[in-house]
Amino acid sequence: MKKYLAITKIEMSRQLTHRFNVASYRAGNLLEVLIPLIIWTVAFRSTEVIKGYTYDEMITYVIVGWLILYLTASYGFERVLALLIYDGTLSQFITKPISFLRYAFTLGFSRSLLAIFLSLIIQAGAIFIAREHIVFRAGPTDTLMLILMVALAVVIRLFYSILISLAAFWTDEISGVDFTASSIIKFFSGAFFPVNLLPSFFMNLSRPSDNVIGRAKLKCHS
């Protein structure tokens, strides 16, 4: 356990050293939340309901959806693992008294802490500003399901990072592969807008990766 705590402390120190860079990325996260809010605000000026969604429900969808995305994001962990492959460090785990998988999970969790903390501050601000339009209401069962699904999504995302980083064995740069794959995942998970606004063909394609909000059957009422 001590060696994993040491990994956490080292990575946290590194993140704090580069805190301005981390904070700069969070400014981009703020725009990711504000832009959809502005778009939907304009869209609802001429109507009260769009495909079964009221304005309050759509605002809730955007804010809660991006909050979940921030909690489950990898924050560039794929490139960190790829560097281990590029410089040959990965082979050292054959002789090190430490599991690579546990090391990867610990490192991924540690490098995300500061970014998640700052993202939560941004989301808290967004929730405060739009508090009159937040209609999130879920019972104990739905809340527990949501928490479990977010925890599972974090684990799946870490495995995704490991999978994408393996491309470093065949190419000198994985950022393009990572960006394309992440964009596809965001689209079919409903990050940009509810998938049920699209034709049924896209809904069928996205069914395995339905947005966690919808899967948890949250009860949103205006």
Q: Report pLDDT digits (tens) over 175-222.
A: 888 888 888 888 877 788 887 787 776 666 655 444 444 444 444 444
Of 67, 59, 37, 54, nearest in space to 221 by CA: 54
Q: SS3 for 212?
A: helix
Residue 207 CA to residue 201 CA, distance in Å, equals 10
Q: Which of 113, 92, 84, 101 is nearest to 9 (CA)?
A: 113
How many whole angstroms separate alpha carbon 206 and alpha carbon 69? Answer: 16
Q: Between residues 9 and 44, which one has the greater pLDDT?
A: 44
Helix (H) or strand (E) holding 107: helix 100-129
pLDDT, tens digit (0-9, with 9 covering 90-100), for 106-147? 877 787 777 778 778 888 888 888 888 888 777 788 788 888
Per-residue confidence band for 44, with pLDDT thresholds at 50, 70 and 90: very high
Helix (H) or strand (E) holding 122: helix 100-129
Residue 111 contacts by C-beta under 8 Å, 6 or more apart in sequence?
Answer: 11, 14, 15, 75, 76, 77, 80
pTM of the full structure: 0.74
d(C-alpha 183, C-alpha 199), whole Å? 19
Tokens 């955007």 correspond to 62
Partners of residue 49 on adjacent β-strands: 54
β strands within 83-186, DSSP E: 136-137
With a pLDDT cut of 70, the percent of the chain lying above it is 89
Q: Which pLDDT does position 10 carry in this prediction? A: 80
| Residue 219, helix vs strand vs coil | strand
165-186 pLDDT, tens digit per residue, is 888 888 888 888 888 888 888 8
Neighbours of 189 (CB within 10 A): 22
Mean pLDDT of all residues in the chain?
A: 79
Q: How far apart are CA 31 and CA 39, in angstroms?
A: 12
CA 8 to each of CA 2, 12, 13, 51, 81: distance values in angstroms, whole numbers, following the listed order: 10, 6, 9, 45, 16
- 54 phi/psi in degrees, rounded to 5: -85, 170
Residue type (1 letter), 139: G
129: helix, coil or strand? helix
